[in-house]
Amino acid sequence: MPLLHPRPGPVPDPTALPSRKHIRAWLAPMVAPRTVHALGLVVVDLALFVATLALVVAIRNPWVKVLAGLVAGYVVGRLFLLGHDACHQSLTPHRRLNRWLGRLVFLPSLTPYSPWEIGHNVIHHGFTNLRHVDFVWQPLSLEEFKALPRTRRTLERLYRSGWAPWLYYLVEAWWKRLWFPRQALLPSRRASVVADGALVTAFALVWMGVLAAAAVATGQSVPLLLATGFALPYVTWAALAGFTVYVNHTHESVAWYGDRDSWSSAQAFLTTSVHIEFGSWVGRSMHNIMEHTAHHTDMTLPLYCLPRAQQRLEQELPGHVVFQRFSWAWYRDTARRCKLYDYERRCWTDFDGRATTRSMIPG
C-alpha cells in the first residue's frame, strides 16, 4: 500500500513521540549486515571507478572525456557511501573489516577515515542540528552574519545560493575539518588523524601520477587528462556531497536549536533529517542515503536495509517524519528562503533577517 505523506509543515509536538529506544526496537529486525553482500558492492563500485577512469584515458574526444569524468565523480560518491556505512560499523558484521574497507573505499573521495569518524559519527550524529556543535550546514543568525568580514559574508551568500554546494564541501568540510584539520578543531586521536591524512594524500599523488604517465604514454595533454580524470571527478563528488547533506537537513520543516534542552526534548534524531524521494532507481543508485530519517534513527542499519526501515518509520509515525519529493523548483525555493536562521523564533530568514518560513516553536 503506498504511503501517504503530509504536506510540509511544523513538526508536531515532540512529546507525542515514543522514545528512541522504542522506535529502534521497531527497526532492530532490519539491522542485518551481510559480509558477502557488502563485499560485492565494494567490488562492483571499485570496478566502476577504474573503468570510468580508463575511459577518460582511452577516449580522445574531450567532451566524452568530460562525460566520463562526471560519471567517475558519481561513482566516487557511491564508494564514499560504502565507506560511510563502514565507518558506522554497519556495512559488515566485522569491526576490523569495516575499518579496513572504510579506509579503502574512502580513498577516491580523499576522505581521511579518522577525522570523518569523529566529525560525522560523534559530532553530526550525536548532536544533529544543535547550534555551535553540529557544524554541517549550520546556519548563521542575523547577528552572526553581520559580524562577519565582508569577504566572509560574500562567501556565505555564495554557499547559500544553491549553486555552490561543491565549494561549501571543499572549504568548510574537507579543507577545514578532514584533510589535516587544526588541533583546535579536532584535538583527539592526532596520530590516526595524521596517518589517515597522509594515506589519502599519497593516494591523490599516485592517482595524478598514473594519469600523467598515461597521458605521456598515449601522446595526450597532461593538463587535460588531469583535469578530466582527477579534478573533474573530485569536484563532481564534492558537489554531490555538499548537495546531499544540504537537502538531507535543510527544509522549512526542519528546525535548528540554540540550546540543548530544546534540542533534546525535540528528539532531534528523528525530526532534523529529511526523506528526499528522487525515484526508486535514483535512490538505489545513491545507495539509499536519501532514506535519511531511518539512518539518523539507527546508524547500525546497513544502507541496503534503509528503504524498509524508512517505510516502517513513516507508517508508525505519520506527520513526524519530514518527507519531500525532490524537484529543482523545490530546491531553488529552499535555497532562496533558507539563508539565515532565527534561533529565538525558530524559523528561516533571508539575509536581512526577514522570516521566510513559519516558526517551528510548538504551540
**What distance, in Å, lies between the first and last C-alpha atoms of the chain?**
33
Structural contact between residues 266 and 255, judged by C-beta atoms closer than 8 angstroms: yes
Give dist(CA 297, CA 267) in Å, integer. 10
State which amino acid sits at residue 257: Y
Q: What is the DSSP letter of 231?
A: I
Residue 116: CB atoms within 10 Å: 23
Residue 3: CB atoms within 10 Å: 12
Q: Which three cell numbers stand for residue 358?
A: 513559519
Q: Which residues on adjacent β-strands are paired with residue 340?
A: 349
| Mean pLDDT across the chain | 91
* DSSP H stretches of helix in 61-149: 62-87, 95-106, 113-116, 142-146
Give dist(CA 309, CA 89) in Å, integer. 17
Give per-residue pLDDT as tens, 308-330. 999 999 988 888 899 999 999 99
Q: Is the model's pLDDT at 2 over the cut of 50?
A: no
Residues 6+ apart with CB under 8 A from 63: none
Give the confidence band of 276 by pLDDT, cuts at 50, 70, 90. very high
What sign results for the dihedral spanned by CA atoms 222, 226, 227, 228?
positive
Q: Is the model's pLDDT at 97 over the cut of 90?
A: yes
Give dist(CA 81, CA 99) in Å, integer. 14
According to the model, what pLDDT value does residue 363 have? 61
According to the model, what pLDDT value does residue 284 have? 85
According to the model, what pLDDT value does residue 140 have? 97
Q: Is the model's pLDDT at 241 over the cut of 90?
A: yes
According to the model, what pLDDT value does residue 182 have? 84
Structural contact between residues 239 and 166, judged by C-beta atoms closer than 8 angstroms: yes
DSSP string, 264-326: HHTTHHHHS-EEEE--HHHHHHTTTTTBHHHHHH-TTS-GGGHHHHHHHHHHHSTTTSEEEE-
Give dist(CA 270, CA 83) in Å, integer. 23
Give dist(CA 247, CA 309) in Å, integer. 20
Give dist(CA 77, CA 70) in Å, integer. 11
Give dist(CA 201, CA 207) in Å, integer. 10
Q: Is the model's pLDDT at 135 over the cut of 50?
A: yes
The pTM assigned to this predicted structure is 0.91
Give per-residue pLDDT as tens, 23-35. 888 898 888 899 9
Give dist(CA 322, CA 276) in Å, integer. 9
**Phi (first) and psi of residue 121, to 5 degrees:** -65, -45
Domain ranges of the chain: 14-349
pLDDT over 90 for what percent of the chain? 79
